């Protein structure tokens, strides 16, 4: 994987570039739809590519390992062949599940013992094993095994957690370097900055990650409940330490406004469940603000879902019809809303990219963030 930085904004830290992978190019900044179990929930792969215009999607090590399992993925020839997505894929390492499934795991120096959320069976995840699994899944970009530090957390816990993540990172790199890709295309390993919201820890972690010389670098442990201004502050601080000539990935973020603020601080890659999860529950994001489709006020609003939207669903369906689908519990509702939201997120990062290139990003961003958080 290679990265070429092509434009740098003068009024902010925003940048535009291109990531080159064996499955094609990724123009940045980019939003990556989440496809935890090998599918972007509720959206056909053709629509993810052609209508949403996604350039790369995510998968999750923990979920794919449990189901369908490594034997099937290997026999299929990797995730790309299994799910029919021929563009780049990034897999999260399962580090987030260390955090989100905290009640079902035990942490040790060696790794983490998980209890499956599917059948309760126990599984050991170590840095080495997580590298091996991600080799089998075959993502273009794979993530180091980390602990996503919870928030709030005491300084000592944050320090020890960060140090553990660093030791695990060294083991990830060692294992990654002594193994090879299985399907004939390159894979890149991204390390992850932790350190909670302690400045000295974040700086230390960012320096550690920067020293690895990885193809790209990620920031984890943010957007876990801390004040939004804190998230921006730490994003900016870490970006200033991470190498300029490598892509920076802010994990798990976020709302449309969060993404523009992240871009302006030097982030190139984002992923978030929000467009799909909230979409499945009737919330859609537009350039004029947020719509809760379940609200009674849309009952007889026959105007297009989003008159400014580029997805075909935006003009094909009305708000009243979509509200009806949600109220009736019809599965087409979540499908349409997910597709709209993803198309909107991709439009947002594409528009940001254009503005960075033509020099109007900072001004545009400050106008947009006000509109994006409005409730319609």
CA distance 266 to 260: 10
Residue closer to RNA (CB basis): 70 or 273: 273
Cβ-based neighbours of 150, under 8 Å, separated by 6 or more = 99, 102, 224
Q: Summarize as ranges the residues that interact with RNA (CB under 7 A).
A: 34, 36, 40-42, 58, 60, 63, 92-93, 95-97, 99-101, 103-104, 117-118, 143, 146, 148, 192, 218, 220-221, 223-225, 228, 251-255, 258, 271-274, 276-278, 280-281, 283, 292, 294-297, 327, 331, 334-335, 375
190, HSE (Cβ side, Cα atoms, 13 Å): 28
For residue 135, the minimal CB distance to RNA (Å) is 17
For residue 128, the minimal CB distance to RNA (Å) is 16
CA distance 323 to 342: 19
Q: Where are the beta strands (DSSP E) in 127-215?
A: 141-143, 188-190, 192-193
CA distance 347 to 275: 13
For residue 67, the minimal CB distance to RNA (Å) is 11
For residue 198, the minimal CB distance to RNA (Å) is 15
CA distance 121 to 117: 8
Residue closer to RNA (CB basis): 320 or 327: 327
Residues labelled as active-site residues: 92, 271
Q: Give the SS3 label for residue 109.
A: coil
Burial code (b: 16+ CB inside 10 Å, e: under 16) for 306-342 equals: beebbbebbeebbbbbbbebbeeeeeebbbbbbbbbb
Cβ-based neighbours of 279, under 8 Å, separated by 6 or more = 42, 334, 337, 338, 339, 340, 341, 342
Q: Give the SS3 label for residue 265.
A: coil
Please provide the size of the chain in residues: 376
For residue 270, the minimal CB distance to RNA (Å) is 9
For residue 302, the minimal CB distance to RNA (Å) is 17
Residue closer to RNA (CB basis): 46 or 358: 46
For residue 34, the minimal CB distance to RNA (Å) is 4
Backbone angles phi, psi at 271, to 5 degrees: -145, 155
Contacts 24+ apart (CB under 8 A), 314-322: 314/340, 314/343, 319/291, 319/293, 322/293, 322/298
Q: How many helices (H) and strands (E) does the chain have?
A: 15, 17
The gap from C-alpha 320 to its chain's centroid, in whole angstroms, comes to 31
For residue 52, the minimal CB distance to RNA (Å) is 12
Residue closer to RNA (CB basis): 111 or 220: 220
Q: Which residues sit opposite 114 in a β-bridge?
A: 105, 123
Cβ-based neighbours of 109, under 8 Å, separated by 6 or more = 164, 167
Report residue 85 as tokens.
């997505």
Residue closer to RNA (CB basis): 12 or 116: 116
């Amino acid at each position: 994987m290679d990265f070429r930085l092509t434009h740098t904004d003068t009024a902010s830290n925003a940048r535009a570039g291109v990531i080159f992978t064996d499955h094609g190019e990724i123009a940045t900044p980019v939003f990556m739809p989440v496809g935890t179990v090998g599918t972007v929930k509720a959206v056909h792969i053709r629509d993810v590519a052609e209508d949403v215009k996604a350039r790369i999607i995510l998968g999750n090590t923990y979920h794919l390992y449990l189901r369908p399992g490594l034997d099937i993925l290997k026999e299929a020839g990797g995730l790309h062949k299994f799910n029919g997505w021929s563009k780049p894929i990034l897999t999260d390492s399962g580090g987030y599940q260390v955090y989100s499934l905290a009640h079902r795991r035990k942490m040790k120096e060696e790794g983490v013992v998980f209890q499956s959320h599917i059948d309760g069976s126990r599984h050991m995840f170590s840095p080495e094993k997580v590298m091996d699994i991600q080799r089998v899944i075959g993502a273009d970009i794979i993530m180091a095994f980390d602990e996503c530090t919870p928030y709030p957390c005491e300084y000592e816990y944050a320090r020890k957690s960060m140090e553990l993540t660093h030791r695990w990172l060294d083991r990830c790199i060692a294992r990654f370097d002594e193994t090879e890709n299985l399907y004939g295309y390159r894979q890149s390993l991204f390390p992850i900055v932790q350190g909670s919201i302690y400045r000295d820890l974040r700086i230390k972690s960012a320096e550690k990650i920067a020293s690895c010389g990885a193809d790209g670098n990620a920031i984890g442990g943010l957007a876990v409940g801390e004040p939004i201004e804190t998230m921006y502050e730490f994003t900016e601080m870490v970006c200033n330490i991470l190498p300029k000539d490598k892509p920076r990935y802010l994990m798990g973020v976020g709302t449309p406004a969060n993404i523009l603020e992240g871009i302006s601080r030097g982030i190139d890659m984002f992923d978030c469940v929000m467009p799909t999860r909230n979409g499945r529950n009737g919330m859609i994001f537009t350039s004029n603000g947020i719509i809760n489709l379940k609200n009674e006020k849309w009952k007889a609003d026959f105007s297009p879902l989003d008159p400014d939207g580029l997805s075909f669903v935006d003009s094909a369906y009305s708000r009243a019809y979509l509200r009806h689908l949600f109220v009736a519990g019809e599965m087409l509702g979540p499908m349409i809303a997910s597709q709209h939201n993803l198309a909107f997120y991709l439009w947002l990062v594409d528009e940001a990219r254009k503005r960075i290139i033509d020099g109007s990003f900072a001004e545009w961003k400050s106008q947009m963030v006000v509109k994006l958080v409005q409730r319609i």
